[in-house]
């Protein structure tokens, strides 16, 4: 199989569903060897040849095992995609210590542990690409998502720091900041609205392209960032949101 990522070795965390699953599928189609993980088994079969390993990225021993599995099976690592994450829809006073541990464990500690594990390996091999999945929520505070918003701000800041500290090692580090992507996570967010149907209509009307995003939209950006086409791109947050954040807060459907 040939493609933009032919024979590259990629670790993609959180590949069981949603954006992660879309990235796994597209990387496989582009010729990459893919090792993915999740806390639970994928609901349906992954593409043939994709390796799945159970892992909680908040646990250092799981991250180390994931890193070692990629090296043992494929001999090297070229790309890390930090996609695993959770969303908790609460204001700060509503957020419990247990909520904090769960969300910060996946969204912050997990990204930190995975990057820390992979960077020395990329240094020894002459470089590679780290792609962190941030969010437009790291720029603009979504209501009742206090620590989720904060966690994505961390992802963006860490991305810049890795790019600055390790660019001379040949390591590029970028983030993708998705907008409203049609996944189970977004479905759950709409379901919590007072009027879910109205909330979804309003969100759709705010997209300049007239539709909400799909996992394959994010996967396309991830392929480009992993490829040699993006060889001079690092330390950047790439917003992929169909024009959502380009617009004023006025709902265009009212005009």
Q: Which residues are catalytic?
A: 148
Strands of the sheet containing 9-13, edge to edge, are 51-54, 33-38, 9-13, 79-82, 128-133, 171-178, 237-240
The residues, any chain, with a CB within 8 Å of residue 101's CB and separated by 6 or more, are: none
Q: What gap in Å lies between CA 121 and CA 169, rounded to an integer?
A: 11
Cβ atoms of 79 and 8 within 8 Å: the answer is yes
Could you give phi then psi for residue 176, rounded to 5 degrees? -105, 130
CA torsion through residues 137, 242, 221, 35, sign? positive
Q: Please tell me the distance from the alpha carbon of residue 88 to that of residue 142, in angstroms, as a whole number.
A: 12
* Helix or strand (DSSP H, E) at 239: strand 237-240
CB atoms within 10 A of CB 93: 6
**Going by C-beta distance under 8 Å and a sequence separation of 6 or more, which residues neighbour residue 254?**
none
CA-based nearest residue to 159, from 51, 217, 237: 237
Contact 221, 174 (CB under 8 A): no
């Amino acid at each position: 199989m040939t493609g933009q990522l032919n024979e590259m070795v990629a670790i993609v965390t959180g590949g069981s569903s949603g954006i992660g699953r879309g990235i796994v599928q597209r990387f496989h189609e582009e010729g990459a060897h893919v090792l993915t993980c999740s806390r639970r088994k994928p609901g349906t079969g992954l593409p043939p040849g994709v390796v799945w390993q159970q892992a909680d990225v908040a646990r250092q021993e799981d991250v180390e095992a994931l890193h070692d599995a990629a090296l043992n099976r494929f001999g090297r690592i070229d790309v890390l995609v930090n996609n695993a994450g959770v969303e908790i829809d609460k204001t700060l006073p509503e957020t419990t210590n247990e909520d904090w541990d769960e969300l910060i464990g996946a969204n912050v500690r997990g990204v930190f542990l995975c990057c820390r594990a992979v960077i020395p390996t990329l240094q020894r091999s002459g470089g590679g690409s780290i792609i962190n999945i941030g969010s437009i929520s790291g720029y603009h505070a979504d209501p009742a998502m206090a620590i989720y918003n904060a966690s994505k701000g961390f992802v963006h800041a860490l991305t810049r720091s890795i790019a600055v500290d390790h660019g001379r090692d040949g390591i590029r580090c970028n983030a993708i900041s998705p907008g409203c992507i049609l996944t189970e996570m977004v479905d759950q967010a709409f379901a919590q609205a007072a009027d879910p149907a109205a909330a979804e209509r309003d969100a759709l009307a705010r997209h300049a392209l007239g539709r909400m995003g799909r996992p394959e939209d994010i996967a396309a950006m991830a392929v480009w960032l992993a490829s040699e086409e993006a060889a001079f791109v690092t330390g950047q947050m790439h917003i992929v949101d169909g024009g959502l954040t380009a617009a004023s807060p006025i709902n265009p459907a009212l005009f």
